[in-house]
Structure 1
Amino acid sequence: MLRTATLRTATLLAVLLLASGASRAQALFEAEDAALVGNAAVATERAGYSGTGYVTGIVQPGDSLRFTVDASGDFVQIRLAVAANARFASYTVQVDDQTPISTNVPVTGAFREIVVAERRLSPGSHTITVHGSFEVDYLTFAPVSYPGPAVPPPVLSDPDASPSARALFAFLLDEYGEHILSAQQDIYSGSPRTAEIDYVTSVTGKVPAIGGFDLIDYSPSRIQFGGAPRDWSEEWIGWAQTDADGKEGIVNLMWHWNAPTDLYNTADQPWYRGFYTEATSFDFADALAEGPGGANYDLLLRDIDAIAVQLQKFEDADIPVLWRPLHEAAGGFFWWGAQSGADYVELWRLVYDRLTDVHDLHNLIWVWTYEPASDPLAWYPGDDYVDVVGRDFYSDDPETLITSQWELLQDAFGANKLVSLTESGTLPDMDDSADRGIWWSWFNVWNGFERDIPADRLTRIYTSEVVLTRDELPDWRDYTLATASEPTPEAQIPLALYPNPTSGATTLTLTLAATVDVTVDVFDLTGRLVSRQRLGVQPAGALQAAVTAPTASGTYLVRVAAGDRVSHGRLVVTR
């Protein structure tokens, strides 16, 4: 489970002040023609109004102005022309029976337009009720649109990604900005293992496109205390495989990693809370500093290897995984976030290299979770180690669209990575989100929280044309990454090492398709970085470079990063 905290409520609407004389080319409704309620009255004393007057007297309870407007189904920006003798005015605007919008706005003595709402108004008649400490000249609305996200490059961090992982990633790219995939995080205790997914289906008649599951109880320190995740992976694999309608589900796996050792295991901090910083004294930075052979370093490897056994089951079943380990690190809630950003990045890369290079797991699409910090990018593992950037966000406001978080992630990562709402305690209106250009790759409601969402809202979102559910998924295995079609020798970066085996230096040979910066990393089989050679910017064409072999005999993994291309090789050293 995540931490419990009171988070700031995101503002539903920003009120923008527009210059006087704004365009009135769109539908315009004079206030004096609207229904006047209570003390509302038409006046003409203030200069600069349009039509035959303006409306005053809507400040007291029970006083209001009601416009009846016809709409064509567009997403529109609703504006009022207002004036007051004070510098600020307060107001409430309600569209039909929707939640009222109340705020303050700067005003002047001359009528000026303010934006009070942005809504998709269904075709037909609507009532817009206005109450406030200003005078109203007219209401107008006009269609408005927001651009969707830029689609990132069709490149996975793992150059050896399996065909099914490539196909799933290609599908996600293709749908980005077109649809938002539905996901539901399920429980990690109790039975059945899909209880929360089943709840969503019972309410909405729809099955989420993505099932979110947690490898938490496969952590060795939990098993030591009696954790028994019998056949969980097999159950999740069964859920993902083709159903009676011929549709496959998409799997999202995370790992609340119980600390490998040093659990307090007290009444206040029992062993099963061992993934929290407050429940363990385990210092992963010290463990990393030990290196291979160190007791705690080897425990890190033991745990990663245990999870690799489970991930291998998914690869054996040809099921690609949206893999989200080590989440929310910069918040410090979990032990993997209790040290520095640099330490965390080293741990992430150890997990990455151990799973991909040592265990040859290539069915993983790596999802990193952004968390606010004084320097959040110090916690970013790097483009070569991340495929999707996610945000976990919990709010006290059930109507929040999480706009600020979307914009933040778009600014920081939008050109390079898909952006996803990887956890939430509420469910934003996805139609409204899409209208505003907020196109998460997928949303994922945390287990149990979906039961707090009103059934009509949950159903409306799951049946939205913007949202994809399992029954609506195409055969995503037919999708092809642009870079994966008809691979060329240049795209594959053929890598040769000679002599190999070697007792000294070896020569690296490869072909570069363009002028790029080249780095050569050598890892031992535990995933530890042994050496790094920065070859600098190299011209296109054949490249030969001497690589210094490690001093100890053994088998090593060589990773060459050339621009946005990566290649791997193995080097055997005999001394």
Structure 2
Amino acid sequence: MSFAGAGAEARGLYAWLWSLYGTRTLTGQQENPGLPRGELAYIERVSGRLPALLGLDYIDPADWTGVRKRALAWHRRGGVVTLCWHWGSPAIGTGYENSKRDFDVAAALRAGTPERRLMIDQMDAVAQELAWLRDRGVPVLWRPFHEFSGDWFWWGKHGPQGFRGLWSTMYDRFCRTHRLDNLIWVLGWAGQNVDARYYPGRGMVDIAGADIYAADHGNLAPMFAAVKAIVGDTVPICLHENGPIPDPALLAHDADWLWFMTWHTRWLAGADQNTAAQVRDAYRSERYLTLDEIAGRGRNRTGTGDRG
């Protein structure tokens, strides 16, 4: 793993993920913070199964206690937890719309500025939430600054250099200051712009991926190839967000996604995204692993396949 001090839980999960890569794909679902059980209930109703991977978001500090509880409960059921952060512009406020407002990243990357203090204080607050999970043995697929190579979020508005500065600042702060040894660092490009200049390097990345909200259920092989051209075989590659679930019959060596993670609300159940039959068939396919198939399989034990 990238962090030499990674704990046994993170190393065990990472080794298990490597053992799956190229042969099986984890089903994943991002929860709707406003109705956290909604997507899970729908998937279970139409397929009889649940996703292996649950996505949660630190978008709303008022819900952080809820995020803690839901992440811990999912881990205890045998599922895998991934967390992202729709981080509102540090100088403006929280929420999705504020994550699209700008912030002076250049100033935040300079020592002693008010912008840096704001940024670090907010990083530290989220670090405390991740530490709460660490202290309860929960490994986390940590996916910060998602879609950084697009220009819609503030962390993507300042080009490759600005992004790499943000990533390295958070990586150092979380790993070395807060000793968050439960994190597996997931780097997620925007699929429209998989640009090597944004890559922080293997020393700060454990899993790479890209996302795009496609118009069909294809395998997104060109996007997989674009990521692989940058990271090669050094880290597994995931589809870190999606609308239509890729047809599992189309996944092969040219699109060996480690997981998919369908976004919530209409992106899961909209008629133009996934029909109930398509969700059912995906969740019952041989390629895709569901919660019942991974629970109790010792995924938190440190394995022999750790490629880190």
- Residue in structure 1 matching 2:200, options 367, 374, 381: 381
> Quick check: which one's helix share is greater?
2
- Report SS of the residue matched to 1:477: coil
Shift of 1:194: 2.9
Which amino acid is 1:472 matched to?
A: E
- Residue in structure 2 matching 1:403, options 214, 221, 225: 221
Residue 256 of structure 2 is matched in structure 1 by 439
Q: Cα deviations across residues 313-367 of structure 1 (Å, max 9, x unaligned)? A: 1101101000000011111110011112112101101001101111111100000
**CA distance in structure 2 between the aligned counterparts of 1:271 and 1:375, rounded to whole angstroms:** 26
- Report SS of the residue matched to 1:216: coil
* Preserved CA contact (<8 Å) 2:28 2:259: yes
Residue 245 of structure 2 is matched in structure 1 by 427
Which amino acid is 1:235 matched to?
A: K
Residue 6 of structure 1 is matched in structure 2 by none
- Residue in structure 1 matching 2:65, options 217, 220, 231: 231
Equivalent residues in 2 for 1:333-482, closer than 5 Å: 333-371=152-190, 376-396=195-215, 398-434=216-252, 437-448=254-265, 449-452=267-270, 453-473=274-294, 474-482=297-305
**CA distance in structure 2 between the aligned counterparts of 1:169 and 1:389, rounded to whole angstroms:** 13
Which amino acid is 1:178 matched to?
A: T
* Preserved CA contact (<8 Å) 2:59 2:95: no
Q: Cα deviations across residues 91-143 of structure 1 (Å, max 9, x unaligned)? A: xxxxxxxxxxxxxxxxxxxxxxxxxxxxxxxxxxxxxxxxxxxxxxxxxxxxx
Structure 1: segments with no counterpart, 5+ residues: 1-155, 219-227, 264-269, 485-563, 565-575
* Preserved CA contact (<8 Å) 1:185 1:197: no
- Residue in structure 2 matching 1:308, options 127, 135, 138: 127
* Preserved CA contact (<8 Å) 2:224 2:254: no
Q: Cα deviations across residues 2-30 of structure 1 (Å, max 9, x unaligned)? A: xxxxxxxxxxxxxxxxxxxxxxxxxxxxx
User: Using a 3 Å threshold, how does the CA distance of structure 1 residues 163 and 328 change in structure 2: closer, same or farther?
Assistant: same
* Preserved CA contact (<8 Å) 1:237 1:317: no
Which amino acid is 2:232 matched to?
A: G
Residue 81 of structure 2 is matched in structure 1 by 251
Instruction: State the TM-score, normalizing by the size of structure 2.
Output: 0.92
Aligned-residue CA RMSD (Å) = 2.0
* Preserved CA contact (<8 Å) 1:169 1:481: no
**CA distance in structure 1 between the aligned counterparts of 2:287 and 2:115, rounded to whole angstroms:** 47
User: Using a 3 Å threshold, how does the CA distance of structure 1 residues 320 and 432 change in structure 2: closer, same or farther?
Assistant: same
**CA distance in structure 2 between the aligned counterparts of 1:295 and 1:257, rounded to whole angstroms:** 18
Residue 168 of structure 1 is matched in structure 2 by 13
- Residue in structure 2 matching 1:208, options 25, 33, 51: 51
Which amino acid is 1:253 matched to?
A: L
Which amino acid is 1:175 matched to?
A: L
**CA distance in structure 2 between the aligned counterparts of 1:205 and 1:437, rounded to whole angstroms:** 30
Matched, 1:240 2:74: yes
Q: Cα deviations across residues 386-434 of structure 1 (Å, max 9, x unaligned)? A: 11111111112x2322121112222222321100000011111112223
User: Using a 3 Å threshold, how does the CA distance of structure 1 residues 173 and 403 change in structure 2: closer, same or farther?
Assistant: same
Q: Cα deviations across residues 472-499 of structure 1 (Å, max 9, x unaligned)? A: 0122123414569xxxxxxxxxxxxxxx
User: Using a 3 Å threshold, how does the CA distance of structure 1 residues 203 and 271 change in structure 2: closer, same or farther?
Assistant: closer
User: Using a 3 Å threshold, how does the CA distance of structure 1 residues 178 and 230 change in structure 2: closer, same or farther?
Assistant: closer
| Greater Rg over alpha carbons, structure | 1
**CA distance in structure 2 between the aligned counterparts of 1:181 and 1:370, rounded to whole angstroms:** 19
**CA distance in structure 1 between the aligned counterparts of 2:280 and 2:19, rounded to whole angstroms:** 25
- Report SS of the residue matched to 1:253: strand
Q: Cα deviations across residues 430-449 of structure 1 (Å, max 9, x unaligned)? A: 12223x64221111111121
**Aligned positions, number:** 302
* Preserved CA contact (<8 Å) 1:233 1:313: no
Which amino acid is 1:174 matched to?
A: S
Residue 144 of structure 2 is matched in structure 1 by 325
Residue 24 of structure 2 is matched in structure 1 by 179
Which amino acid is 1:359 matched to?
A: H
Which amino acid is 1:275 matched to?
A: S
Matched, 1:295 2:114: yes
